[in-house]
Amino acid sequence: MKVCELLALLRDVDPSSTVLFLEDYSDLSETDEILDVIVPDQVWTYETGRCGRERYSVRYPEPFEQRGEADGYRDVAHTTERVVLLVNGVTNYRRMRLPERLPPPRGLDDAKT
C-alpha cells in the first residue's frame, strides 16, 4: 500500500479513531494499537526471487547485494523505495540510530526502553 492510498482511505474517518494493527491470520481479539510512526530518511531495498523452490520477497534498509545460484537463489530482482513504518511496540530502529525524516514523537523514544 502506498501512503496516498492510505490517506485516501482515511479521508472521511473520525480523526479521534484509534489505529490498530491486525497480523496475518490473527483473531480479531489479537489486535495491537499503533504507537509510533517512523519515516526513515534512506531508501529501502525491495528484493524478490526464488530460494530453492520457494518464492520470496523482503524489504530491508541496507543496499542490495547480489545473491547467486550457488546459494540457492535465482530470478532475483530488486528496486529501492521509500517506506513508512507503523510500530506497535519496541523496535531496534532508533537504537541503531538510523536517520529519520521526521523527529520521533515525545515519549516514544525506543532508546529509553
The CA R_g of the chain, rounded to the nearest whole Å, is 17
Whether residue 48 sits in one domain with residue 30: no
* Model confidence pLDDT, tens digit, residues 33-67: 999 999 999 999 999 999 999 999 999 999 999 88
Q: Which domain holds residue 58?
A: 44-81
Q: What is the pLDDT of residue 113?
A: 41
Strand partners, 73: 51
Split into its structural domains, the chain has a count of: 2
Whether residue 77 sits in one domain with residue 49: yes
Whether residue 54 sits in one domain with residue 36: no
DSSP letters for 24-79: TT--GGG-EE--EEE-BSS-EEEEEEEETTEEEEEEESSPP----GGGTEEEEEEE
Whether residue 71 sits in one domain with residue 59: yes
Neighbour-count burial of 73, counting CB atoms closer than 10 A to its CB (0-12 exposed, 13-18 middle, 19+ buried): middle
Structural domain includes residue 4: no
Structural domain includes residue 56: yes
Whether residue 90 sits in one domain with residue 68: no
User: How far is the C-alpha of 85 from the C-alpha of 5, rounded, in Å?
Assistant: 15
For the beta carbon of residue 75, count every other beta carbon within 10 angstroms: 10
Q: What is the pLDDT of residue 109?
A: 54
* Spatial CB neighbours of 15, under 8 Å, sequence gap ≥ 6: none
* Model confidence pLDDT, tens digit, residues 66-109: 888 888 999 999 999 999 999 988 888 888 888 888 777 666 55
